Structure 1
């Protein structure tokens, strides 16, 4: 595949690092897949998916979200989203890239794949811009979480007032992620919950852009976004004819070991979305694209997309 780097301007005039992967043979391009990556990682971790998709005739785009990867400029800036409303800026940045893609390839169908944090960003994206997409894929996601989000917001608000928006918060990091490894004890690392593949976990640990503790402002903005996308009223704004594929490991703590995935699918059906499918992979953890059965997962993604072409 052919790899390209470019930048575009996001909200607050932020320069955002983006990536494009193109099939070497461009005569039979079928569509475009845009990726919205997860928290405390970067778009570079999706190169293997881009390789698989380009090998099968798809152009792939991704960008490093604000506060992540090369968009953060340096490691000290990781986890800083915006002066305010950081989650909304994440959504708008994704849409800015979508618009650029559609200007470059107006004749090709566009699919959006969001993982983890990027899946929640995608959940809001389709509430505003779902008509732009041929289909959407949600990886490592979750459904409504109830009063626990309000409690988290209250704690995060206090933390912002105490230490400031741009200060790293060990307290909030432990609050959000502290119990994720419990299911896998005795654990080899703090990130065993990501994947059964020890090599992939070690690569994550060795990556300076991954696994960092983020700021109090990030957690407040992120929880605000989680509350927004959890609303059934807001889900009613999603186009009813938008196909959605939700996939996760049934041992993923983010998706409450499958329960959150089933809740999300049920809510989408309640608001009238007609093409909602899901798959829970037995034994799979949070990063199904980095799991021991990732080849199966990528094949499932491709087959789902190709049914819509």
Structure 2
């Protein structure tokens, strides 16, 4: 695990890497606010990265919440399969969930200091968040799954009939 720290105003900024599933380097950032109300973890969507959430992170920090965000494998500065740096791919979607748990256990939870933990997730990150919450329901106080990438189970009815 490698990391670097700096201070910007009242926010302690850290970024670094940890080893994810199948030895893929996963990038993360943290934005710690002194005496924060709680900690928000962001799980981004498909073809996104931590850079997209810069303004939202500022808003959360301004409202006294610390923020941790991961670049999921194949996205942003995290490792990926293949040689094309613009390619987004994953061998098994569950690797996202395993990476997310490693991120929480090794980076986020050790820095909680009795603060409450919240999840903000979008699209693919919402699917990752939902699968994570299904397996591990004792991490987050509350969760926002913004437009989660999910398919509705229509049961015995074909999807076309359900749409109508």
TM-score, with structure 1 as normaliser: 0.43
TM-superposed deviation, 1:113 = 1.1
* Among 121, 133, 144, the residue aligned to 1:137: 144
Residue number among 106, 111, 116 corresponding to 2:123 in the alignment: 116
Gaps of 5+ in 2: 1-10, 155-162
Q: 1:23-42 alignment to 2 at 5 Å?
A: 23=33, 26=34, 28-42=35-49
Question: Which is helix-richer, 1 or 2?
Answer: 1
Matched residue, 2:135: 128
Question: Is 2:85 aligned against 1:79?
Answer: no
Moved more, 94-103 or 34-43: 94-103
For residues 99 and 119 of structure 2, what CA distance do their matches in structure 1 show?
13
- Pairwise CA distance, 1:106: 3.9
The residue that corresponds to 1:51 in the other structure is 58
User: Shift in Å at residue 49 of structure 1?
Assistant: 1.0
TM-score normalised to the size of structure 2? 0.78
**How many residues align structurally?**
143
Deviations 1:130-177 (A, max 9, x none): 211111111122554347xxxxxxxxxxxxxxxxxxxxxxxxxxxxxx
Which of structure 1's runs of 4+ aligned residues deviate more than 6 A?
none
2:21 matched residue in structure 1: 11
Superposition pairs for residues 119-198 of structure 1, below 5 Å? 119-141=126-148, 144-146=151-153
**Unaligned stretches of 5+ in structure 1?**
148-259, 261-309
Instruction: Tell me how far apart the structure 1 counterparts of residues 90 and 149 of structure 2 sit (CA, whole Å).
Output: 22
- Cα 1:132/1:75, change in 2 over 3 Å: same
